[in-house]
Amino acid sequence: MLRALPGGRSREREAESADKLTLLTALERKVLWLSTWMIHNANHLRPSRDGLKVGGHQASSASVATLMTALYLDVMRPQDRVAVKPHAAPIFHALQYLLGHQSVEKLERFRAFGGAQSYPSRTKDGDIVDFSTGSVGLGVGMTLFASLVQDYLRLHRLMPADASPGRMIALAGDAELDEGNIFEALLEGWKHDVRNLWWIIDYNRQSLDAVVSDRLFGRIDALFEMFGWRVVTLKYGRLLQAAFARPDGEHLREWIDDCPNSLYSALVYKGGEGWREHLRRDLNRYPGIRAILDGHDDDALARLMTNLAGHDMGSVLDALHAVTDDRPTCFIAYTIKGYGLPFAGHKDNHAGLMNPAQMEIFQHSMAVPAGQEWARFAGLDIPADALEAFLADVPLARAGTRNHQTPPIPVPTELPVPNGRRLSTQEAFGRLLGTLATGDSALASRIVTTSPDVTVSTNLGAWVNRRGIFDRTERADTFREEKVVSAQRWVMAPKGQHIELGIAEHNLFLELAALGLAGPLFGARLLPIGTIYDPFIKRGLDAFNYALYQDARFILVATPSGITLAPEGGAHQSIAEPLIGLAQPGVVGFEPAYADELACLLRWAFEEIQREDGQSVYFRLSTRPIDQPEREIGADLAEAIIAGAYWLREPAPDAELAIAYCGALAPEALGAYEAICEDVPGAGLLAVTSPDRLHREWREALASGATSVAERLLRRLRPGAAIITAADSHPATLSWLGSVARNVVLPLGVDGFGQSGDIPDLYRVYRLDVDAIVDAAARACLRATTGTDG
């Protein structure tokens, strides 16, 4: 009796899992059908108004139908988070549709305005998407940093430590592993001992252009193992394994193992006849193989030879369920690109679309009656109520919303302005954070700083000394213990609030993406501040864009910047970055000149990154100490600083000249202004704190018919007055100001590479010094009054 019970249970369990397998296999079919049809509908049935191919990736989608069905309909728990390879969006949408989280209208409008997105998007597809994807490699890296953020929150007790952690899962294409950012992330992840991370590689041996190198994957598993990952290879499905177990079966295994990727792919495409010809040629001497060939007609032989584990639901479930610990795991799942579709294995199938005739055959084989193409269960030989009941019980279907709502962290009404007669904005930033670090405000407790090996040189030292470096385990500062004098105290502990990264700006931005989504993803808001050298924003630009595209919120402090960095020379001097601030959606760029402006802006930034429809904030700072104005910033001035500009020296009514400057050029602008005032009394001096905000608001005002901030400011000048714009960046940063109120603009700035020198030399050579501004003013005034250069 005692024995019978467990035996009975295990039989019950076996029956249950057989049922589950049947249900999941049926649903996988449906997912493949829906994804293929979704793309077909978009390309062939929806009327085209512009003659463009709509596109969509039927082959890439088919490749992951089994893996994704297993994940979404069985393996995943609500706390798990997934980055889906971008071109598998149709499979993702189909699964969400089956789970009741996606509407048929959106599927019908796949790739149309307002429809299901071409690539999964957090902001446009809504609550169903965990991580946006599109630029290959980035979603994969993102999961690693998300797992680091999850650990940070758990160790800071900002998330319940007793609830099971979510697994951060990437479903990656094999060619995604050509992207360097993945390896940068791997190395960083190893240093931080990341956990709960699954990368499932859809190893279909094809990229966009070609079949991938045979030798590559021999390296990949060793590489993951080197970083401490578990590698699980899902190679052969159950049919093939059964064939290998037959007499002479080992020769079949060897043959497939040795088969070059391109031959395997070509034979997949050719089908049973092709397989038979090659196997006969190579293995006919083995009676067991002859028996296998004789026992399979062409269709059955093709089914057997393509029975890779990534398309075998049972194998996939076994492999995924077998991992129960938190060790990072890479699953290499052998698949076929276009599996189940007529162009399976064809090297040109990436953008391939089934034609209407092929679709008709496919529809017939799927037993989907005409007119029922969108029906959830049409063509499946399992009763709808059984499928419905199964789906209703899937953990992801039962879970509520995937995005957490978190209350904003209160921000004080002002941040104390660092005192000092001469300060650089970089120093002011360090002191502002240093002061925040001493208090025990809620704000300070949620700030997390991070930097790719430029923590000290971007002035985060005071903050880090007080708040410590985040690490899973306590680690003393050896230099301190050994009484070696240093200004830095690098104590590492789980409660540390600075995440130190190696030099890889891509990692910085992926980490900021994850930190900046801590609220919606994990239910605990963080206020991330990343520091970087301004020129190296470009190094991580795609990841920066990626972070912003999915509405991650953070503060980026980029310093030093421009040729003002003087002796460091051209390799470190940034030029185009303010234009990135101006043109990049999702972030607002500022380039303040004075410490009091920065204090006011940083306070605002803490609010802005928490506002429902806010943005991230980018500060371009400088190491140049400059004289600070003696003033109190009242509400009006604060508002103007945040809006992007204010008159540092008011123009007289009808002034014929103004100088508009940004950031560290304030002393030159002031010097020139004072020199000019003797000849042009009543000239104005415009401090531009944010070309980005000013420009955006100007465009919005033009569209709505309102008067913009910039126009209100410039209207103080005489119509057609001259403006000299000066920025330590590309002149286009401010030259557009001439269009606001039809002024004559003479833009100064940097449009060639920098070089070493001191500030006087460089400002002279790049025509940004007082003389150059005065000279430009004279020419601009002439042009404004005579319409010529004289």
Report the residue from 136, 423, 517, 548 that binds ligand TPP according to the rule CB under 6 A.
136
Residue 174's closest CA among 317, 318, 64, 320?
64
Report the residue from 66, 79, 206, 315 that binds Mg ion according to the rule CB under 5 A.
206
Containing H/E element for 289?
helix 287-295
**476-495 in b/e burial notation, b at 16+ Cβ within 10 A?**
ebeeeeeeeeeeeebbbbbe
- Stretch of residues binding ligand TPP (CB under 6 A), selected from 6-14, 83-91, 356-364, 653-661: 83-91
Does 137 engage in binding with Mg ion (CB under 5 A)? no
| CB 209, min distance to ligand TPP, A | 7
Report the residue from 17, 25, 135, 262 that binds ligand TPP according to the rule CB under 6 A.
135
- Stretch of residues binding Mg ion (CB under 5 A), selected from 27-35, 196-204, 441-449, 609-617: 196-204
The answer to whether residues 512 and 450 touch, using CB atoms and an 8 Å cutoff, is yes
Q: Which is nearer to ligand TPP, 28 or 471 (CB)?
A: 28
- Stretch of residues binding ligand TPP (CB under 6 A), selected from 204-212, 490-498, 515-523, 738-746: 204-212
Q: Which is nearer to ligand TPP, 204 or 425 (CB)?
A: 204
- For the packed helices 313-322 and 4-40, what is the interaxial angle rounded to 10 degrees? 120
Q: Which is nearer to Mg ion, 334 or 604 (CB)?
A: 334
- Of the CA atoms within 13 Å of residue 57, those in its CB half-sphere come to 24
Beta-sheet pairing, 498-501 with 447-452: parallel
The answer to whether residues 658 and 456 touch, using CB atoms and an 8 Å cutoff, is no
Q: How many CB atoms lie within 10 A of CB 513?
A: 30
CA distance 559 to 623: 7
Q: What are phi and psi of 67, to 5 degrees?
A: -60, -45
Give the chain's count of helices (H) and strands (E): 35, 20
In angstroms, the Cα distances linking 209 to 136, 337, 686 are 15, 13, 53
Residue 133 binds which entry of Mg ion, ligand TPP, none, CB below 5-8 Å type-dependent:
none
Does 202 engage in binding with ligand TPP (CB under 6 A)? yes
Residue 350 binds which entry of ligand TPP, Mg ion, none, CB below 5-8 Å type-dependent:
ligand TPP
Report the residue from 60, 574, 622, 733 that binds ligand TPP according to the rule CB under 6 A.
60
Sheet of 616-620: strand order equals 492-493, 469-470, 498-501, 447-452, 527-532, 555-558, 616-620, 587-590
Integer-rounded Cα Rg, in Å, for the chain is 31
Residue 326, burial from CB neighbour count under 10 angstroms (0-12, 13-18, 19+): middle
The answer to whether residues 498 and 467 touch, using CB atoms and an 8 Å cutoff, is yes
Which residues within the stretch 419-448 sit at the binding site for ligand TPP (CB under 6 A)? none
Q: Which is nearer to Mg ion, 174 or 596 (CB)?
A: 174
Which residues within the stretch 742-771 sit at the binding site for ligand TPP (CB under 6 A)? none
Give the amino acid at 653.
P
Residue 678, burial from CB neighbour count under 10 angstroms (0-12, 13-18, 19+): exposed
Number of residues that bind ligand TPP (CB under 6 A): 18
Q: Which is nearer to ligand TPP, 87 or 466 (CB)?
A: 87
Residue 143 binds which entry of ligand TPP, Mg ion, none, CB below 5-8 Å type-dependent:
none
Q: How many CB atoms lie within 10 A of CB 372?
A: 13
Site string for ligand TPP, 162-201 (x = CB under 6 A): -----------xxxx-------------------------
The answer to whether residues 432 and 418 touch, using CB atoms and an 8 Å cutoff, is yes
Does 173 engage in binding with Mg ion (CB under 5 A)? yes
| CB 250, min distance to Mg ion, A | 28
Which residues within the stretch 316-375 sit at the binding site for ligand TPP (CB under 6 A)? 337, 350
Does 208 engage in binding with ligand TPP (CB under 6 A)? yes
Q: Which is nearer to ligand TPP, 141 or 592 (CB)?
A: 141
CA distance 454 to 533: 8
The string of DSSP letters for 149-181 reads HHHHHHHTTSS-TTSPPPPEEEEEEGGGGGSHH
Measured from each CB, the residue nearest to ligand TPP is 173
The answer to whether residues 662 and 733 touch, using CB atoms and an 8 Å cutoff, is yes
| CB 65, min distance to ligand TPP, A | 12
Does 206 engage in binding with ligand TPP (CB under 6 A)? yes
Contacts of 682 (CB under 8 A, 6+ apart): 651, 652, 653, 654, 655, 656
CA distance 645 to 657: 17
Q: Which is nearer to Mg ion, 85 or 122 (CB)?
A: 85
CA distance 70 to 523: 26
Report the residue from 41, 63, 564, 689 that binds ligand TPP according to the rule CB under 6 A.
63
| CB 137, min distance to ligand TPP, A | 6
Q: Which is nearer to ligand TPP, 119 or 275 (CB)?
A: 119
Does 204 engage in binding with Mg ion (CB under 5 A)? yes
Residue 87 binds which entry of Mg ion, ligand TPP, none, CB below 5-8 Å type-dependent:
ligand TPP
Q: Which is nearer to ligand TPP, 278 or 506 (CB)?
A: 506
Q: Which is nearer to Mg ion, 208 or 222 (CB)?
A: 208
- Stretch of residues binding ligand TPP (CB under 6 A), selected from 82-90, 262-270, 476-484, 615-623: 82-90
Q: Which is nearer to ligand TPP, 94 or 717 (CB)?
A: 94
| CB 605, min distance to ligand TPP, A | 30
| CB 589, min distance to ligand TPP, A | 24
Residue 517's closest CA among 83, 182, 122?
122
The string of DSSP letters for 55-124 reads ---HHHHHHTHHHHHHIIIII--TT-EEEE-GGGHHHHHHHHHHTTSS-HHHHHTTTSTTSS-SS--TTT
- Stretch of residues binding ligand TPP (CB under 6 A), selected from 81-89, 661-669, 693-701, 711-719: 81-89
Does 207 engage in binding with ligand TPP (CB under 6 A)? yes
The binding site for ligand TPP (CB under 6 A) comprises 60, 63, 85-87, 135-136, 173-176, 202, 204, 206-208, 337, 350
Contacts with Mg ion, residue ranges (CB under 5 A):
173-175, 204, 206
